[in-house]
Amino acid sequence: HSLTACDGLTFMSRNQWKARSRKANDPPQRLPTPVSHVFIHHTVTPDQCHNQAAYVAAVRSMQDFHMDNRNWSDIGYNFLMGGDGRIYEARGWYTVRAHTLGMNDKSVNLALMGNYESVAPPKKMLDLAQKWVECAVEKGVVSGLYQLHGHRDQTCTSSPGQAFYDIIKSWKYFKGGPLDTYIHNTNLQMPGNYARDKLSGGRQ
């Protein structure tokens, strides 16, 4: 049957954004589906992209940072969304990610590119993000009775930004934190460090 929500989304595959191969010494873990949690993030990076090529370059830069500076096996997210509304496949639907310590093997996540601490994402991105969650349910990746969280509900971070977090509180099946699995020491996996390190030229 037709996947109605999925049909309304435009996905960019890893091949399309020319992703690097995952590190060979760390084979992927298959995500045990369906999972019962969905996490929403922001990347903190300034959203100054104005065309598809710029978004592709931004996703590739994020992958480089996660693999080279964080020493992760691949880009940390399952999916990212650009301001162009396209959804970029990171680890995809069925691979355990690295961005929400304590919940990586029990959830999928979507990161919206940009900093949404004081300004909310555009309505187009918000609508498509909710459609992405519906798509995950349609595909059987996420259970029908899931819980939706902001990244901050599980780890010590401001993600997905206060302005964005205030919006997702009204989304279907939202459950605020701190969750029972909350992790306090998250210096190694806070996406905020990406922007900070990149802007300062340093690494942590």
Q: What is the pLDDT of residues 36-73, one digit of tens each?
A: 999 999 999 876 677 889 999 999 999 999 999 999 99
Residues 6+ apart with CB under 8 A from 172: 130, 133, 148
Token code pair at residue 113: 């590119």
Sign of the dihedral defined by the CA atoms of residues 105, 110, 113, 115, in that order: negative
**At the topology level of CATH, where does 31-115+133-178 sit?**
Lysozyme-like (3.40.80)
Say yes or no to pLDDT of 185 above 70.
no
Sign of the dihedral defined by the CA atoms of residues 163, 108, 190, 175, in that order: positive
Say yes or no to pLDDT of 193 above 60.
no
Say yes or no to pLDDT of 201 above 70.
no
Say yes or no to pLDDT of 203 above 70.
no
User: How much is the pLDDT for 46?
Assistant: 76
Average pLDDT over residues 117-142: 97
pLDDT-based confidence at residue 192 (cuts at 50, 70, 90): very low
Percent over 90 (pLDDT), the chain: 74
Percent over 70 (pLDDT), the chain: 88
Average pLDDT over residues 14-25: 96
More confident residue, 21 or 26: 21
Residue with tokens 């601490």: 117
Say yes or no to pLDDT of 199 above 60.
no
Q: Cα separation of 70 and 170, whole Å?
A: 33
Residue-averaged pLDDT of the chain: 88
